[in-house]
Structure 1
């Protein structure tokens, strides 16, 4: 169904080069990001009062764009293999299915590579929850998570925003370190999210050609410089079943919580350790909201990236409202079990979560 090696090779070949830096500058940037990641860990844990449940370290990897691509191809492959096997079995029963599978796998590999090349220049950092390790990209113990910091993208954005590079690098690390802390301090969280994703994928009931056509639609828009058809809906929205909508609502709530919590922590810690945090936040918010033109906006919708932007905003408002009402320790009851996670409706109405979990009404 997907030629993964071809996807990785295509993305690495097409991805835009990063900003120009000398070898010495690159070495200094990598070293500084590693120092900031270490410093951010202490800042985040002190502010959130969250403590790692295990002494096993979670790897922090500073990567370039091709490194990010390799890591994500491996992650997608591990996560999607059960679904793709199911789709492949369905296709093999059709006349000529084996031939179609071979040809289609290469076509889809190229087009997936095109999408990854688009995304590889936009991600500043990423906590990989499902991270199979490799020789050059080690994963956590027992296939646990790892934190990726994409050095060329961080440098590119700090230059575009014209902000202090040292402050910006620490600011980014505060956000990403919050994700590492979330999963290190809440052992059940990874399995819970993986279970929800597996359930979502297992409920997929769509003709393989339809699903692959959505991916091709997005990839071809990159090659042709045109907005994709149906740009008002994401790939997931275009193919999901009613059962998947329920799972997606729960996943949306969890991701809103995680992203909003990271933004809240970043802003809470920032004034003490990042002197120019107000300037960075203002400029970054404008950049995050604007995109880069009509095609970029259309692709963000098709890939669901606009939903991710809403997750930052809505989740941060939820965290702030709950902490204001019941304090940080009261908020941290959100990590007790899957039952104390907020629903999608509670993300929009934090008082309902406070009432359910604390037995009181906010305000």
Structure 2
């Protein structure tokens, strides 16, 4: 970590946009050690085999076709930061266009804020399925941040290969969702654009944010349901140890997690998992797959908390 270099990068922020994204990338990487990407043949084969086996298992138990992304990358932290700077830049573009030329001091503050955010995430993300929202290319991507996987497995005192395999299965479940529901990327893009545009106009579109929250809750909850059926090992201990680690952080670390919305992501996991467990218990996994028929099949916020209402609606029963 080089705080001086990071501060220089932020202070050098220039241009007329609200955020200098090149400076964000430089500053975030100065804040974040890249970590070792020294993979031996066993590591390389491990990632490849984990992804392939996850795909086969998920296709078998979920009765879905899984199209893996063309880009499957084992990254260090700097690689992950570069990839996600591009994503943040695309998502923030409507706000920057609406604001127009921006004063230098405010640009520096915005650039510094984004640098810290990406630096913190870069040190903690284990794996990521990236639908590349708002990108010109239709391709998706799958990333594994190897230094973080190695570090966290050691901190949790769990077998590294088993931990890596668990991460791979979880991310491939997300690939299954987007392959099963070709409309999902467009649906998310539309709601993201609508939310960002209303923010840029100085208002708040509660309906769009609720739609995004519900959709991401479904995405996370269905992934957990598939994991329960597809992962060929118990993983309750892995989830418990990871949750304990997050809760045991310092007050500052917990505050940062709240500011980054990571608590919201955990709530989405739990709420979505409860919904799909109830659906699978009342019907079965095949019935739960109906959630991906089209956008109208997504549960409402009320139905997420009353799964039987969703079951009645999509089955035509009253």
TM-score bucket of the superposed structures, by smaller chain = 0.7 to 0.9
Asked if 1:13 corresponds to 2:15, the answer is: no
1:10: Cα distance to partner?
0.5
Asked if 1:357 corresponds to 2:304, the answer is: no
Indicate the residue corresponding to 1:130 in structure 2: 132
Pick the aligned partner of 1:143 from 124, 138, 147.
138
Pick the aligned partner of 2:121 from 97, 100, 119.
119
1:40: Cα distance to partner?
0.8
Asked if 1:195 corresponds to 2:195, the answer is: no
Q: Secondary structure at the match of 2:199?
A: coil
Indicate the residue corresponding to 2:272 in structure 1: 315
Pick the aligned partner of 2:98 from 78, 81, 86.
86
Indicate the residue corresponding to 1:337 in structure 2: 294
Q: Secondary structure at the match of 1:127?
A: strand
User: Which residues of 2 match residues 227-306 of structure 1 at below 5 A?
Assistant: 241=204, 244-270=205-231, 273-274=232-233, 277-288=235-246, 290-306=247-263
- Equivalent-residue separation in structure 2 for 1:338 and 1:291 (angstroms): 38
Contact 2:69 2:140 in 1 (8 A): no
- Equivalent-residue separation in structure 1 for 2:52 and 2:43 (angstroms): 14
Contact 1:34 1:62 in 2 (8 A): no
Measured on the aligned residues, the alpha-carbon RMSD in Å equals: 2.3
1:103: Cα distance to partner?
4.6
Structure 1, unmatched stretches of 5+, are: 134-140, 208-239
Q: Secondary structure at the match of 2:137?
A: helix
Indicate the residue corresponding to 1:73 in structure 2: 85
Q: Secondary structure at the match of 1:122?
A: coil
Contact 2:272 2:304 in 1 (8 A): yes
Asked if 1:64 corresponds to 2:76, the answer is: yes
Q: Which runs of 4+ in 1 moved over 6 A?
A: none
Distance change in 2, residues 1:132/1:68 (3 Å): farther
Indicate the residue corresponding to 2:150 in structure 1: 155
Give the count of matched residue pairs.
Answer: 301
Contact 1:62 1:149 in 2 (8 A): yes
- Equivalent-residue separation in structure 2 for 1:356 and 1:131 (angstroms): 30
- Equivalent-residue separation in structure 2 for 1:283 and 1:360 (angstroms): 41
Pick the aligned partner of 1:186 from 181, 203, 228.
181
1:24: Cα distance to partner?
5.1
So what's the TM-score if we normalise by structure 2?
Answer: 0.87
Indicate the residue corresponding to 1:169 in structure 2: 164
1:305: Cα distance to partner?
1.4
- Equivalent-residue separation in structure 1 for 2:110 and 2:199 (angstroms): 18
Once the two structures are superposed, residues 318-361 of structure 1 have per-residue CA deviations (whole angstroms, 9 ceiling, x without a partner) of: 11111111211211111111000011221111111111111347
- Equivalent-residue separation in structure 2 for 1:24 and 1:59 (angstroms): 18
- Equivalent-residue separation in structure 1 for 2:63 and 2:160 (angstroms): 28
1:180: Cα distance to partner?
0.8
Structure 2, unmatched stretches of 5+, are: 1-17
